Amino acid sequence: MFGLDDQLAGLGDGGAFAVVAVIAMLLGLRHATDPDHLTAVTTLLAGDRGGARRAGQLGLVWGLGHATALVVFGVPIVLADAYVPDAVQTGAETLVGLVIIALALRLLVRAHRRSHGAPPAVRSRSQAYGIGLVHGMGGSAGVGLLLLAAIPSRGEALVALTLFAACTAASMAAASTTFGFVLGREAVARRFAAAVPALGLVSLAFGVWYALGAVQAVPYVF
């Protein structure tokens, strides 16, 4: 995001494997702060009253889905230099935007149903995993190239990729747990509930922009 990943990865260029491993972990821990990830996790958890524990579980499952895609797409890069074609990457990024749109629309529907006293559906772990899988597909090629460009050893590159994937899952679980903990406070929950429709509209607009940016129809700054 904003060149930060390039700066972090550059610190490990030509360095010892211990340095490369630390950089991989830092990249993974930072990855959850990308705007598309923050939007997804917010709309994923908004309106869920399960508290910090359930939020952390959903965030972890979401992160595991993301990590799965990173490994599936990253291993061929390491072993066979089989990079993801640009068309596939563009399609995956567009799909990320569409998922954000779907999450935003679901959030708006949940808010409408809740305002009329209807019980909204609860997000399942399998759904959270699928959302994470799509997000991992969207960002895996660029991040994989960034991590692996300075690692001559395939074994070390595989370890670095695994560390990166594991740290993304951990950071997403931590972000979700924090979000759930804050919303567990009754006063915060009441104020947040009032802001949910606006949040849904902002997320919807972001998803539309993200999808259009993936096909270069609008400027994409991240």
For the stretch 63-101, pLDDT in tens is: 898 889 888 887 877 777 666 677 877 888 888 889 889
Tally of CB atoms within 10 A around 142: 13
* Closest CA relative to residue 208, chosen from 103, 81, 73: 103
- pLDDT at site 159: 84
DSSP code for 90: H
Averaged pLDDT for residues 10-25: 64
Comparing 187 with 221, the larger pLDDT belongs to 187
- pLDDT at site 186: 74
Global pTM value: 0.76
Q: Which of 9-18, 42-51, 197-206 has the lowest mean pLDDT?
A: 9-18
- pLDDT at site 50: 63
- pLDDT at site 66: 87
Comparing 106 with 12, the larger pLDDT belongs to 106
Q: Is the dihedral of CA 14, 18, 21, 26 positive or negative?
A: negative
Q: Which of 14-23, 106-115, 164-173, 205-214 has the lowest mean pLDDT?
A: 14-23
- pLDDT at site 4: 45
* Pairwise CA distance, residues 98 & 78, whole Å: 29
Tally of CB atoms within 10 A around 195: 12
Contact indicator for 70, 161 with CB cutoff of 8 Å: yes
**CA angle, 136 then 138 then 143, to 5°:** 75
- pLDDT at site 127: 84
Q: Which residues are CB-neighbours of 57 under 8 A, at least 6 positions away?
A: 125
Please report which confidence band the pLDDT of residue 3 belongs to, taking 50, 70 and 90 as the band edges: very low
Does residue 197 carry a pLDDT above 90?
A: no
- pLDDT at site 11: 45
Q: Is the dihedral of CA 164, 165, 167, 171 positive or negative?
A: positive
Six-digit token string for 202: 């902002």
* Pairwise CA distance, residues 152 & 131, whole Å: 33
**CA angle, 220 then 208 then 205, to 5°:** 100
- pLDDT at site 222: 59
* Closest CA relative to residue 69, chosen from 168, 1, 157: 168
Contact indicator for 70, 143 with CB cutoff of 8 Å: yes
